[in-house]
Amino acid sequence: MEPIILAYIGIGLMVGLAGVGSAYGCTIAGNATIGALKKTPEAFGNFLALSAMPGTQGIYGFVGFFVLQGRLVAEMSWWHAAAIFGAGIALGLAGLLSAIRQGQVCANGIAAIGSGHNVFGNTLIMAAFPELYAILALLVTILINGTLG
Amino acid sequence: MKKYAFLVYHKDYLDFLSELQELGVLHVIEKKTGEIEDVALREKFSQIQQYNQLVSFLQKRQIEPAKELKELDGLKIFKEIKELQIQKDQYLQQLTTLKKEQSLLEPWGDFSWSTIDNLQKAGIKARFLSCSARKFSDAWQNSFYVEAINEIKGQIYFVLFEKINEKTEIDAEEITLPRRKLSDVLEQINETNTKLENTETLFDNYAATAIEALIKTKNKFTGEVTFDKVVLNTQKEADDKLMILEGWVPNDKAEVLVAYLEKKSVYYNMYEPSKEDSIPIKLKNNWFSRLFEPIGELYSLPQYNELDLTPFFAPFFMLFFGFCLGDIGYGLLILLAAFYYKPKVKPKIRPILTLGQFLGISTILMGLVSGTFFGINLLETNFLFFPSLRFMMLDSNELMTLALIIGGIQIIFGICIKAVRIILFEGFRASLATLGWIVVIAGCAAVYFLSDFGYIAKESSKNLYLIIGVIGGVPILFLNSPGKNIFLNFGLGLWDSYGMLSGLLGDLLSYIRLFALGISSAVLGLVFNQIAVGLSGDIPVVSHIIMILILLFGHTLNLGLSALGSFVHPMRLTFVEFYKNSGFSGGGLKYKPFIK
């Protein structure tokens, strides 16, 4: 097997899993929004902001690929391939699961706002908690890229 | 704040309350029974909601308000519009029924039922049937009395005639028709449509003239609700003859109230707040910090004996937002948008746009530091607007260090605030352990950087660490709880140190998000620039249009999502890391005066 294959598997996991996570997260929050709009259509701005929050993990995956893009050459070493594969697993998994879970936090917040509770700010803060770990995974990807001479 | 209790005779009570409402300084203390259950009050609440719905229903029609508004009776208008809405629903239902009849009758044309009835009298029954054109065979024509009337979409509609007492077996679908003439149905549809149009016109008239009257009436209800709530929060004594009301008044408003009470010779008592009281909070901030109050309120107001941290986190929040978004172009956009809309919005929203201006300025400054303009990395390009600004720009490693340094500064700053608060509210001796921590953290950081830059030799730095450790460590381990014995102090000190050290590391690393978010928004901008240049091809004019479209879409998306993140994450750093280290617990009650 050539090292480039492993590297591309890593990139696939990175972009694919993080993107799937964001798609799921936004959908979970979006569904809650549709339900909550029946009761409080005037809070759509709040719902929009909360539904957009799980959308960032997919972007982190994409940014991660972009950072590593220059390393993907046909004659790459096993060292580079392994590094990219590791970064891909880290960012892919962290993005996938944190986005889905973040979507659930946002959905609960949206439902609560729909029932007339004023919890927009609190939900934003709570939703920022799981996101940190996707941000850290992106940071690790950037740092890994820095270690590849 | 001072607490006041009033004792009023029941006959004078409602007048007293009205005058109190005019003054608008008293924050009424609510009974501890939780939500007050009162049928009349609930009724008014639902009325207010219905008024809100009507107003937004009319506002959605976007009709220009009439030039000359007459005084209208909101209650009457409300009833009229409600009735009109019910009427509209009835018309719509009628229309649905009529349309159904129309679709049933249409294939058969405009025939008269009297003909059918005459045949019936003569002993001949007409049956209305339909089947697919392929099935409608010539064989039927010979064996039954059938007549094809119409063919629509491959379906043949035909009539079969038979004697009253016969039942012809035929493989076709029987259709039950409404006993109406098609032309009558069509006429009724037209009539109903005209009625509907008329109701819409009436709605439009209301939208042009009645919105203000409705809002006025709603506000009257809202005022009544606040009034009723106060009445319900009154304690009744001596066979309901005496009314007792309690509330809070800010010190600077007390004069007005006392002057009124003396004039009216109302019996009252004034109390200093005690520790058990939950005292309402009214924030006092200068014009800059006040802009950040809405952000602070998203978490919680301070308690009465806490410092209000708004002025302390405001500059940090501004800097953090800039750090996360960090793009000269985006900053300019935010700044210009805030400038453009500021004169156009309601005065209530204006402070938010002023906040937007500040955040925009911060984004521009941090964009200069990171060297990003609409995703273009200025460090790697040759066309700099101001080459002299290059010295300001940091590469990504330096930015990461900067994020951590800023985080460290905010954490130490938070611990200093905690020490000040303890000195103010609990006395100097209680603050010794906190001061010890400040010595340890700030001292070690200073020595580390000084030895890192070579100002201090490695050997002497070790001794310095030791000295700082002793100076800070003694109060941390032995003086953390004045008045308790030394062993308990030591145990608590150890526990406190463990919590502090493990917490500090996590808190500090949490600030690294500033750098990661900054990188992420910059890279995404860069990506959209590349896609725009790469995908647009080289067809003259068309390529440029495609390029501009991609740039517009991409940067709008990036600005929206990144701005959201840049707002939320600094908020979290403020509320979690900064508030924790400054010992802020919050949970204060907002001062809401009883006012018209």
**Is the Cβ pair A125, B575 closer than 8 Å?**
yes
Residue B125, CA distances (Å) to B10, B86, B121, B143, B159 in order: 83, 43, 9, 17, 10
B589-590 and B280-281 as β-strands: parallel, antiparallel, unpaired? parallel
What pLDDT does residue B34 have? 45
Distance between CA A89 and CA A62 in Å, rounded?
A: 14
**Is the Cβ pair B569, A128 closer than 8 Å?**
yes
Distance between CA B366 and CA B327 in Å, rounded?
A: 7
Residue with tokens 């390529």: B543
Give, as one character, the DSSP assignment of residue B574.
I
Strand ranges inside B175-314, DSSP E: 235-237, 242-249, 267-271, 280-281
Half-sphere exposure of A109 (CA within 13 A, CB side): 28
Distance between CA B25 and CA B595 in Å, rounded?
A: 7
The CA distance from A81 to the nearest CA of chain B, in Å, is 22
Residues 6+ apart with CB under 8 A from A80: A3, A7, A71, A148
Residues in chain B where the model's pLDDT stays below 70: 31-38, 69, 381-392
What pLDDT does residue B382 have? 64
Q: Which residues of A touch B (CB under 8 A)?
A: 42, 49, 52-53, 55-56, 59-60, 62-63, 66-67, 120-122, 124-125, 127-129, 131-132, 135-136, 138-139, 142, 146
Distance between CA B174 and CA B17 in Å, rounded?
A: 75
Q: Which residues are registered as beta bridge partners of B270? A: B4
Residue A19, CA distances (Å) to A14, A54, B20, B69 in order: 8, 10, 59, 55
Distance between CA A99 and CA A68 in Å, rounded?
A: 22
DSSP element (H, E) containing B228: helix B211-232
Distance between CA B417 and CA B333 in Å, rounded?
A: 36
CB B405 within 8 A of CB B448: no
Chain A partners within 8 Å of B561 (Cβ): 52, 55-56, 59
Half-sphere exposure of B83 (CA within 13 A, CB side): 7
What pLDDT does residue B318 have? 93
CB B102 within 8 A of CB B186: yes
SS3 at position B505: helix
**For residue range B111-168, what is the model confidence (pLDDT) as tens digits?**
888 888 888 888 888 889 888 888 887 777 777 888 888 888 888 888 888 888 888 8
**Is the Cβ pair B510, A132 closer than 8 Å?**
yes
- Please name the residue of chain B whose CA is at the shortest distance from the CA of residue A125: B572
What pLDDT does residue B266 have? 78
Q: Is B374 left (phi over 0), alpha (psi -120 to 50) or beta?
A: left
Q: Which of the four pLDDT bands, split at 50, 70 and 90, describes residue A107?
A: very high
Angle (nearest 5°) at CA B474 between B473 and B479: 120
**Is the Cβ pair A136, B512 closer than 8 Å?**
yes
Residue A89 has pLDDT above 70, yes or no: yes
The CA distance from A144 to the nearest CA of chain B, in Å, is 13
Q: Whole-structure pTM over 0.75, yes or no?
A: no
What pLDDT does residue A118 have? 83
Give, as one character, the DSSP assignment of residue A100.
H
Residue A55, CA distances (Å) to A24, A25, A135, A142 in order: 9, 7, 13, 20
**Is the Cβ pair A120, B298 closer than 8 Å?**
yes
The minimal CB distance from B513 to the residues A42, A125, A135 is found for: A135
CB B29 within 8 A of CB B248: yes
The CA distance from A134 to the nearest CA of chain B, in Å, is 10
The minimal CB distance from B561 to the residues A52, A142, A146 is found for: A52
> Residue-wise over B132-146: b if at least 16 C-beta within 10 A, else e?
eeeebeeebeeeeeb
**For residue range B473-482, what is the model confidence (pLDDT) as tens digits?**
878 777 777 7
Residue B522, CA distances (Å) to A60, B225, B373, B527 in order: 12, 51, 9, 9
The minimal CB distance from B561 to the residues A59, A66, A135 is found for: A59
The CA distance from B80 to the nearest CA of chain A, in Å, is 25
SS3 track for B550-571: HHHHHHHHHHHHHHHHHHHHHH
The minimal CB distance from A125 to the residues B519, B560, B571 is found for: B571
What pLDDT does residue B450 have? 79
What pLDDT does residue B385 have? 58
Chain B partners within 8 Å of A125 (Cβ): 298-299, 568, 571-572, 575-576
SS3 at position A38: helix
Chain A partners within 8 Å of B524 (Cβ): 59, 62-63
Residues 6+ apart with CB under 8 A from B210: B58, B72, B74, B77, B81
User: Residue B248: what are its φ and ψ, rounded to 5°?
Assistant: -110, 145
**Is the Cβ pair A138, B520 closer than 8 Å?**
yes
DSSP element (H, E) containing B170: none
The CA distance from B253 to the nearest CA of chain A, in Å, is 30
> Crossing angle, helix A44-52 and helix A78-114, to 10 degrees?
160
B532 CB-contact burial (10 Å; exposed 0-12 / middle 13-18 / buried 19+): buried
Give, as one character, the DSSP assignment of residue B137.
-
Distance between CA B8 and CA B16 in Å, rounded?
A: 8
**Is the Cβ pair A128, B397 closer than 8 Å?**
no
